[in-house]
Structure 1
Protein backbone atom coordinates (compact mmCIF):
# COMPACT_ATOMS: atom_id res chain seq x y z
CA UNK A 1 0.00 0.00 0.00
CA UNK A 2 2.82 2.38 0.89
CA UNK A 3 4.60 1.65 -2.36
CA UNK A 4 1.38 2.26 -4.30
CA UNK A 5 0.84 5.71 -2.79
CA UNK A 6 4.50 6.56 -3.16
CA UNK A 7 4.23 5.87 -6.87
CA UNK A 8 0.72 7.08 -7.67
CA UNK A 9 -0.27 9.31 -4.73
CA UNK A 10 0.80 12.57 -6.35
CA UNK A 11 -0.87 11.59 -9.62
CA UNK A 12 -4.15 10.75 -7.89
CA UNK A 13 -4.01 13.96 -5.85
CA UNK A 14 -3.44 16.07 -8.96
CA UNK A 15 -6.26 14.21 -10.73
CA UNK A 16 -8.61 14.85 -7.81
CA UNK A 17 -7.83 18.57 -7.86
CA UNK A 18 -8.41 18.70 -11.63
CA UNK A 19 -11.71 16.88 -11.22
CA UNK A 20 -12.83 19.33 -8.53
CA UNK A 21 -11.71 22.25 -10.68
CA UNK A 22 -13.73 21.05 -13.68
CA UNK A 23 -16.75 20.21 -11.54
CA UNK A 24 -16.96 23.40 -9.48
CA UNK A 25 -16.04 25.91 -12.18
CA UNK A 26 -18.30 24.41 -14.82
CA UNK A 27 -21.13 24.19 -12.26
CA UNK A 28 -20.71 27.89 -11.52
CA UNK A 29 -20.95 28.88 -15.18
CA UNK A 30 -23.75 26.38 -15.78
CA UNK A 31 -25.78 28.06 -13.03
CA UNK A 32 -25.00 31.48 -14.48
CA UNK A 33 -26.76 30.24 -17.62
CA UNK A 34 -29.21 27.74 -16.18
CA UNK A 35 -30.63 29.70 -13.24
CA UNK A 36 -32.05 32.53 -15.39
CA UNK A 37 -33.33 29.95 -17.87
CA UNK A 38 -35.17 28.14 -15.10
CA UNK A 39 -36.64 31.38 -13.79
CA UNK A 40 -37.85 32.34 -17.27
CA UNK A 41 -39.41 28.90 -17.75
CA UNK A 42 -41.28 29.31 -14.47
CA UNK A 43 -42.56 32.87 -14.68
CA UNK A 44 -43.70 32.66 -18.32
CA UNK A 45 -46.03 29.72 -17.71
CA UNK A 46 -49.78 30.33 -17.90
CA UNK A 47 -51.02 31.65 -14.57
CA UNK A 48 -47.60 32.78 -13.40
CA UNK A 49 -46.45 36.35 -12.80
CA UNK A 50 -45.43 37.00 -16.43
CA UNK A 51 -47.43 34.58 -18.56
CA UNK A 52 -46.25 34.10 -22.14
CA UNK A 53 -47.55 30.68 -23.23
CA UNK A 54 -46.16 30.70 -26.77
CA UNK A 55 -42.73 31.87 -25.72
CA UNK A 56 -42.74 29.36 -22.87
CA UNK A 57 -43.59 26.51 -25.23
CA UNK A 58 -40.87 27.42 -27.72
CA UNK A 59 -38.27 28.08 -25.05
CA UNK A 60 -39.19 24.85 -23.31
CA UNK A 61 -38.61 22.91 -26.54
CA UNK A 62 -35.21 24.57 -26.98
CA UNK A 63 -34.21 23.58 -23.45
CA UNK A 64 -35.44 20.03 -24.00
CA UNK A 65 -33.48 19.70 -27.25
CA UNK A 66 -30.28 20.94 -25.61
CA UNK A 67 -30.87 18.69 -22.65
CA UNK A 68 -31.42 15.61 -24.82
CA UNK A 69 -28.02 15.81 -26.55
CA UNK A 70 -25.73 13.04 -25.26
CA UNK A 71 -22.76 14.62 -23.54
CA UNK A 72 -20.06 12.82 -25.50
CA UNK A 73 -21.65 13.84 -28.82
CA UNK A 74 -21.97 17.45 -27.67
CA UNK A 75 -18.34 17.41 -26.54
CA UNK A 76 -17.09 16.43 -30.00
CA UNK A 77 -19.65 18.56 -31.84
CA UNK A 78 -18.52 21.83 -30.23
CA UNK A 79 -14.76 21.21 -30.49
CA UNK A 80 -14.34 24.11 -32.98
CA UNK A 81 -16.25 26.41 -30.63
CA UNK A 82 -14.22 25.20 -27.64
CA UNK A 83 -10.96 25.75 -29.50
CA UNK A 84 -12.04 29.23 -30.58
CA UNK A 85 -13.12 30.14 -27.03
CA UNK A 86 -10.20 28.85 -24.94
CA UNK A 87 -7.54 28.23 -27.58
CA UNK A 88 -7.44 24.45 -27.20
CA UNK A 89 -9.75 21.45 -27.23
CA UNK A 90 -7.86 19.34 -24.69
CA UNK A 91 -7.13 19.80 -21.01
CA UNK A 92 -9.19 20.63 -17.95
CA UNK A 93 -9.96 24.21 -19.00
CA UNK A 94 -11.18 23.14 -22.43
CA UNK A 95 -13.50 20.62 -20.75
CA UNK A 96 -15.29 23.47 -18.97
CA UNK A 97 -17.02 24.49 -22.20
CA UNK A 98 -18.90 21.25 -22.98
CA UNK A 99 -19.48 20.61 -19.28
CA UNK A 100 -21.12 24.02 -18.88
CA UNK A 101 -23.23 23.81 -22.02
CA UNK A 102 -24.38 20.30 -21.21
CA UNK A 103 -25.28 21.06 -17.60
CA UNK A 104 -27.03 24.41 -18.17
CA UNK A 105 -30.33 23.06 -19.63
CA UNK A 106 -30.38 20.29 -17.02
CA UNK A 107 -29.97 22.90 -14.30
CA UNK A 108 -32.69 25.05 -15.89
CA UNK A 109 -35.18 22.22 -15.41
CA UNK A 110 -33.95 21.59 -11.88
CA UNK A 111 -34.45 25.26 -11.02
CA UNK A 112 -37.87 25.26 -12.65
CA UNK A 113 -38.91 22.29 -10.55
CA UNK A 114 -37.65 23.95 -7.36
CA UNK A 115 -39.49 27.20 -8.06
CA UNK A 116 -42.73 25.40 -8.84
CA UNK A 117 -42.74 23.97 -5.32
CA UNK A 118 -43.47 27.44 -3.92
CA UNK A 119 -47.05 27.88 -2.75
CA UNK A 120 -48.90 30.01 -5.30
CA UNK A 121 -50.59 31.81 -2.42
CA UNK A 122 -47.23 33.29 -1.41
CA UNK A 123 -46.87 34.80 -4.88
CA UNK A 124 -50.40 36.19 -4.77
CA UNK A 125 -49.70 37.75 -1.37
CA UNK A 126 -46.55 39.40 -2.72
CA UNK A 127 -48.47 40.78 -5.70
CA UNK A 128 -51.20 42.14 -3.42
CA UNK A 129 -48.53 43.95 -1.41
CA UNK A 130 -47.38 45.72 -4.58
CA UNK A 131 -44.17 43.78 -5.17
CA UNK A 132 -42.73 44.09 -8.67
CA UNK A 133 -42.01 41.03 -10.79
CA UNK A 134 -38.30 41.44 -10.13
CA UNK A 135 -38.92 41.59 -6.38
CA UNK A 136 -41.14 38.51 -6.52
CA UNK A 137 -38.42 36.58 -8.35
CA UNK A 138 -35.49 37.69 -6.18
CA UNK A 139 -37.17 38.02 -2.79
CA UNK A 140 -39.89 35.37 -2.94
CA UNK A 141 -39.28 32.67 -5.53
CA UNK A 142 -35.52 32.31 -5.12
CA UNK A 143 -35.47 32.90 -1.38
CA UNK A 144 -38.31 30.51 -0.56
CA UNK A 145 -36.86 27.77 -2.78
CA UNK A 146 -33.33 27.81 -1.31
CA UNK A 147 -33.60 24.35 0.35
CA UNK A 148 -34.81 22.77 -2.88
CA UNK A 149 -32.23 24.67 -4.93
CA UNK A 150 -29.46 23.36 -2.67
CA UNK A 151 -30.64 19.79 -3.15
CA UNK A 152 -30.76 20.42 -6.87
CA UNK A 153 -27.24 21.81 -6.73
CA UNK A 154 -25.98 18.60 -5.16
CA UNK A 155 -27.58 16.58 -7.97
CA UNK A 156 -26.09 18.92 -10.56
CA UNK A 157 -22.59 18.70 -9.05
CA UNK A 158 -22.73 14.91 -8.95
CA UNK A 159 -23.95 14.80 -12.55
CA UNK A 160 -21.15 17.11 -13.71
CA UNK A 161 -18.67 15.04 -11.70
CA UNK A 162 -19.76 12.02 -13.71
CA UNK A 163 -19.32 13.97 -16.94
CA UNK A 164 -15.73 14.83 -15.99
CA UNK A 165 -14.91 11.12 -16.11
CA UNK A 166 -16.04 11.09 -19.74
CA UNK A 167 -13.94 14.12 -20.62
CA UNK A 168 -10.96 12.39 -19.05
CA UNK A 169 -11.11 9.67 -21.71
CA UNK A 170 -10.30 12.27 -24.38
CA UNK A 171 -7.43 13.99 -22.60
CA UNK A 172 -9.20 16.49 -20.36
CA UNK A 173 -7.38 15.39 -17.23
CA UNK A 174 -8.80 14.52 -13.85
CA UNK A 175 -9.56 11.13 -12.33
CA UNK A 176 -11.29 9.96 -15.49
CA UNK A 177 -8.13 10.49 -17.48
CA UNK A 178 -6.06 8.61 -14.89
CA UNK A 179 -8.50 5.71 -14.95
CA UNK A 180 -8.36 5.61 -18.75
CA UNK A 181 -4.58 5.92 -19.15
CA UNK A 182 -3.50 3.67 -16.28
CA UNK A 183 -6.47 1.44 -15.63
CA UNK A 184 -7.62 0.82 -19.20
CA UNK A 185 -4.63 1.34 -21.48
CA UNK A 186 -1.95 -0.04 -19.13
CA UNK A 187 -4.10 -2.65 -17.34
CA UNK A 188 -3.20 -1.28 -13.89
CA UNK A 189 -6.42 -2.22 -12.14
CA UNK A 190 -5.30 -0.93 -8.74
CA UNK A 191 -5.15 2.59 -10.15
CA UNK A 192 -8.60 2.10 -11.67
CA UNK A 193 -9.99 1.00 -8.30
CA UNK A 194 -8.36 3.97 -6.59
CA UNK A 195 -10.00 6.44 -8.97
CA UNK A 196 -13.38 4.77 -8.44
CA UNK A 197 -13.01 5.01 -4.66
CA UNK A 198 -12.02 8.67 -4.89
CA UNK A 199 -15.01 9.48 -7.13
CA UNK A 200 -17.36 7.69 -4.72
CA UNK A 201 -15.90 9.66 -1.81
CA UNK A 202 -16.39 12.94 -3.69
CA UNK A 203 -20.01 12.06 -4.42
CA UNK A 204 -20.66 11.15 -0.79
CA UNK A 205 -19.06 14.36 0.47
CA UNK A 206 -21.10 16.49 -1.93
CA UNK A 207 -24.33 14.72 -1.01
CA UNK A 208 -23.79 14.93 2.75
CA UNK A 209 -22.67 18.56 2.64
CA UNK A 210 -25.61 19.85 0.62
CA UNK A 211 -28.15 17.71 2.48
CA UNK A 212 -27.03 19.42 5.70
CA UNK A 213 -27.10 22.86 4.09
CA UNK A 214 -30.59 22.21 2.75
CA UNK A 215 -31.86 21.09 6.16
CA UNK A 216 -30.43 24.21 7.79
CA UNK A 217 -32.02 26.45 5.16
CA UNK A 218 -35.42 24.76 5.47
CA UNK A 219 -37.68 26.90 7.64
CA UNK A 220 -39.70 23.83 8.60
CA UNK A 221 -36.70 22.54 10.58
CA UNK A 222 -36.39 25.67 12.70
Structure 2
Protein backbone atom coordinates (compact mmCIF):
# COMPACT_ATOMS: atom_id res chain seq x y z
CA UNK A 1 0.00 0.00 0.00
CA UNK A 2 2.84 2.38 0.82
CA UNK A 3 4.34 1.74 -2.63
CA UNK A 4 1.04 2.60 -4.31
CA UNK A 5 0.68 5.75 -2.20
CA UNK A 6 4.22 6.83 -3.09
CA UNK A 7 3.56 6.26 -6.79
CA UNK A 8 0.31 8.24 -6.62
CA UNK A 9 1.84 11.18 -4.76
CA UNK A 10 4.83 11.20 -7.10
CA UNK A 11 2.44 11.34 -10.06
CA UNK A 12 0.51 14.23 -8.50
CA UNK A 13 3.71 16.17 -7.85
CA UNK A 14 4.90 15.50 -11.40
CA UNK A 15 1.65 16.80 -12.87
CA UNK A 16 1.80 19.95 -10.78
CA UNK A 17 5.36 20.61 -11.89
CA UNK A 18 4.72 19.82 -15.56
CA UNK A 19 1.06 19.10 -16.47
CA UNK A 20 0.75 16.66 -19.35
CA UNK A 21 -1.58 14.24 -21.08
CA UNK A 22 -5.29 13.83 -20.40
CA UNK A 23 -4.77 14.27 -16.67
CA UNK A 24 -2.84 17.48 -17.38
CA UNK A 25 -5.95 19.06 -18.91
CA UNK A 26 -7.79 18.62 -15.66
CA UNK A 27 -4.76 19.83 -13.71
CA UNK A 28 -4.72 23.03 -15.81
CA UNK A 29 -8.32 23.77 -14.82
CA UNK A 30 -7.58 23.03 -11.17
CA UNK A 31 -4.52 25.29 -11.25
CA UNK A 32 -6.55 28.17 -12.64
CA UNK A 33 -9.21 27.70 -9.98
CA UNK A 34 -6.97 27.01 -7.00
CA UNK A 35 -4.37 29.65 -7.82
CA UNK A 36 -6.76 32.41 -8.90
CA UNK A 37 -6.21 34.70 -5.92
CA UNK A 38 -2.45 34.17 -5.91
CA UNK A 39 -2.16 34.83 -9.65
CA UNK A 40 -4.44 37.85 -9.47
CA UNK A 41 -2.36 39.22 -6.59
CA UNK A 42 0.82 38.77 -8.59
CA UNK A 43 -0.66 40.47 -11.66
CA UNK A 44 -1.89 43.41 -9.56
CA UNK A 45 1.57 43.73 -7.99
CA UNK A 46 3.14 44.30 -11.42
CA UNK A 47 1.20 47.57 -11.74
CA UNK A 48 1.38 46.93 -15.48
CA UNK A 49 -0.47 49.34 -17.75
CA UNK A 50 -1.50 49.50 -21.39
CA UNK A 51 1.50 49.34 -23.68
CA UNK A 52 3.80 47.52 -21.27
CA UNK A 53 5.77 44.40 -22.11
CA UNK A 54 5.18 41.74 -19.46
CA UNK A 55 5.62 38.00 -18.98
CA UNK A 56 4.10 35.07 -17.13
CA UNK A 57 6.79 32.46 -16.62
CA UNK A 58 5.45 28.98 -16.02
CA UNK A 59 1.91 30.04 -16.87
CA UNK A 60 0.37 26.58 -16.47
CA UNK A 61 -3.39 26.84 -17.00
CA UNK A 62 -3.09 30.31 -18.53
CA UNK A 63 -4.96 32.45 -16.00
CA UNK A 64 -2.02 34.84 -15.64
CA UNK A 65 -1.87 35.32 -19.41
CA UNK A 66 -5.54 36.27 -19.45
CA UNK A 67 -5.20 38.77 -16.60
CA UNK A 68 -2.03 40.34 -18.01
CA UNK A 69 -3.63 40.73 -21.44
CA UNK A 70 -6.46 42.67 -19.83
CA UNK A 71 -3.93 45.13 -18.41
CA UNK A 72 -1.57 45.73 -21.34
CA UNK A 73 -3.31 44.77 -24.61
CA UNK A 74 -3.74 45.73 -27.37
CA UNK A 75 -0.86 48.21 -27.29
CA UNK A 76 1.37 46.07 -25.11
CA UNK A 77 2.69 42.52 -25.32
CA UNK A 78 2.40 39.54 -22.99
CA UNK A 79 5.09 36.87 -23.20
CA UNK A 80 4.15 33.43 -21.96
CA UNK A 81 7.00 31.08 -21.10
CA UNK A 82 6.23 27.45 -20.24
CA UNK A 83 8.23 24.24 -20.00
CA UNK A 84 5.23 21.91 -20.38
CA UNK A 85 4.52 21.29 -24.06
CA UNK A 86 0.89 20.35 -23.41
CA UNK A 87 0.25 23.64 -21.60
CA UNK A 88 1.82 25.52 -24.52
CA UNK A 89 -0.47 23.72 -26.96
CA UNK A 90 -3.49 24.43 -24.79
CA UNK A 91 -2.64 28.15 -24.57
CA UNK A 92 -2.02 28.39 -28.32
CA UNK A 93 -5.50 27.06 -28.98
CA UNK A 94 -7.17 29.17 -26.31
CA UNK A 95 -5.48 32.47 -27.19
CA UNK A 96 -5.20 32.08 -30.96
CA UNK A 97 -6.70 35.51 -31.68
CA UNK A 98 -4.38 37.32 -29.30
CA UNK A 99 -1.39 35.51 -30.78
CA UNK A 100 -2.47 36.43 -34.32
CA UNK A 101 -2.87 40.06 -33.23
CA UNK A 102 0.64 40.13 -31.76
CA UNK A 103 -0.56 40.82 -28.22
CA UNK A 104 0.63 37.44 -26.96
CA UNK A 105 3.87 35.58 -27.67
CA UNK A 106 4.21 32.02 -26.37
CA UNK A 107 7.57 30.28 -26.12
CA UNK A 108 9.01 27.17 -24.54
CA UNK A 109 11.51 27.87 -21.79
CA UNK A 110 12.21 27.75 -18.09
CA UNK A 111 13.05 30.09 -15.24
CA UNK A 112 16.74 29.34 -15.63
CA UNK A 113 16.76 29.75 -19.44
CA UNK A 114 14.32 32.46 -20.48
CA UNK A 115 13.83 32.93 -24.25
CA UNK A 116 13.68 36.70 -23.77
CA UNK A 117 16.04 39.55 -24.63
CA UNK A 118 17.98 41.52 -22.05
CA UNK A 119 16.04 44.44 -20.55
CA UNK A 120 12.94 43.60 -22.61
CA UNK A 121 10.23 43.54 -19.91
CA UNK A 122 8.50 46.05 -17.69
CA UNK A 123 7.32 43.25 -15.40
CA UNK A 124 7.33 39.49 -15.01
CA UNK A 125 5.34 37.17 -12.79
CA UNK A 126 5.99 33.57 -11.83
CA UNK A 127 3.60 31.83 -9.44
CA UNK A 128 4.17 28.48 -7.72
CA UNK A 129 7.18 27.65 -9.87
CA UNK A 130 10.25 28.08 -7.66
CA UNK A 131 9.51 24.72 -5.99
CA UNK A 132 10.68 23.05 -9.19
CA UNK A 133 13.89 25.05 -9.67
CA UNK A 134 17.16 23.47 -8.62
CA UNK A 135 19.34 26.56 -9.08
CA UNK A 136 17.41 29.43 -7.53
CA UNK A 137 20.24 31.93 -8.01
CA UNK A 138 20.28 31.21 -11.75
CA UNK A 139 16.51 31.75 -11.94
CA UNK A 140 16.69 35.07 -10.10
CA UNK A 141 19.59 36.18 -12.29
CA UNK A 142 17.47 35.45 -15.37
CA UNK A 143 14.60 37.52 -13.97
CA UNK A 144 16.97 40.41 -13.35
CA UNK A 145 18.45 40.09 -16.83
CA UNK A 146 15.17 40.47 -18.71
CA UNK A 147 13.82 43.40 -16.69
CA UNK A 148 14.19 46.98 -17.80
CA UNK A 149 15.44 49.55 -15.27
CA UNK A 150 12.57 50.09 -12.84
CA UNK A 151 10.91 46.83 -13.86
CA UNK A 152 9.24 44.45 -11.42
CA UNK A 153 9.67 40.73 -10.83
CA UNK A 154 6.76 39.26 -8.88
CA UNK A 155 7.08 35.79 -7.35
CA UNK A 156 4.10 33.97 -5.86
CA UNK A 157 5.08 31.32 -3.32
CA UNK A 158 2.96 29.18 -1.02
CA UNK A 159 3.89 29.47 2.63
CA UNK A 160 6.57 26.77 3.07
CA UNK A 161 5.22 25.56 6.42
CA UNK A 162 1.73 25.16 4.99
CA UNK A 163 3.07 23.54 1.82
CA UNK A 164 5.08 21.04 3.87
CA UNK A 165 1.83 19.71 5.35
CA UNK A 166 0.59 18.66 1.90
CA UNK A 167 1.50 14.99 1.30
CA UNK A 168 2.67 15.35 -2.31
CA UNK A 169 5.24 18.10 -1.68
CA UNK A 170 7.67 15.50 -0.32
CA UNK A 171 8.03 14.20 -3.88
CA UNK A 172 10.00 16.66 -5.97
CA UNK A 173 9.15 20.01 -4.35
CA UNK A 174 11.93 22.28 -3.05
CA UNK A 175 10.28 24.17 -0.19
CA UNK A 176 12.62 27.02 0.64
CA UNK A 177 12.22 29.57 3.46
CA UNK A 178 10.93 32.89 2.12
CA UNK A 179 14.06 34.58 3.46
CA UNK A 180 16.17 32.33 1.23
CA UNK A 181 14.23 33.38 -1.87
CA UNK A 182 14.50 37.05 -0.92
CA UNK A 183 18.25 36.68 -0.43
CA UNK A 184 18.59 35.09 -3.87
CA UNK A 185 16.67 37.94 -5.48
CA UNK A 186 18.95 40.44 -3.80
CA UNK A 187 22.07 38.60 -4.95
CA UNK A 188 20.74 38.94 -8.49
CA UNK A 189 20.63 42.71 -8.10
CA UNK A 190 16.91 42.99 -7.25
CA UNK A 191 17.60 44.59 -3.91
CA UNK A 192 14.30 46.33 -3.24
CA UNK A 193 12.08 43.38 -2.30
CA UNK A 194 8.64 43.95 -0.82
CA UNK A 195 6.98 41.03 0.94
CA UNK A 196 3.19 40.75 0.89
CA UNK A 197 1.09 37.94 2.34
CA UNK A 198 -2.27 36.55 1.25
CA UNK A 199 -4.03 34.86 4.15
CA UNK A 200 -7.61 34.61 2.83
CA UNK A 201 -6.74 31.62 0.64
CA UNK A 202 -6.70 27.87 1.18
CA UNK A 203 -2.91 27.90 1.47
CA UNK A 204 -1.34 31.12 2.85
CA UNK A 205 0.65 32.73 0.08
CA UNK A 206 3.58 35.11 -0.18
CA UNK A 207 3.87 37.65 -2.99
CA UNK A 208 7.42 38.94 -3.38
CA UNK A 209 7.74 42.13 -5.41
CA UNK A 210 11.33 42.79 -6.47
CA UNK A 211 12.33 45.98 -8.26
| TM-score (norm. length: structure 2) | 0.32
Larger-gyration structure (1/2): 1
Higher strand share: 2
Higher helix share: 1
Which of 1 and 2 has higher RCO (CA within 8 Å, sep 6+)? 1
| TM-score (norm. length: structure 1) | 0.31
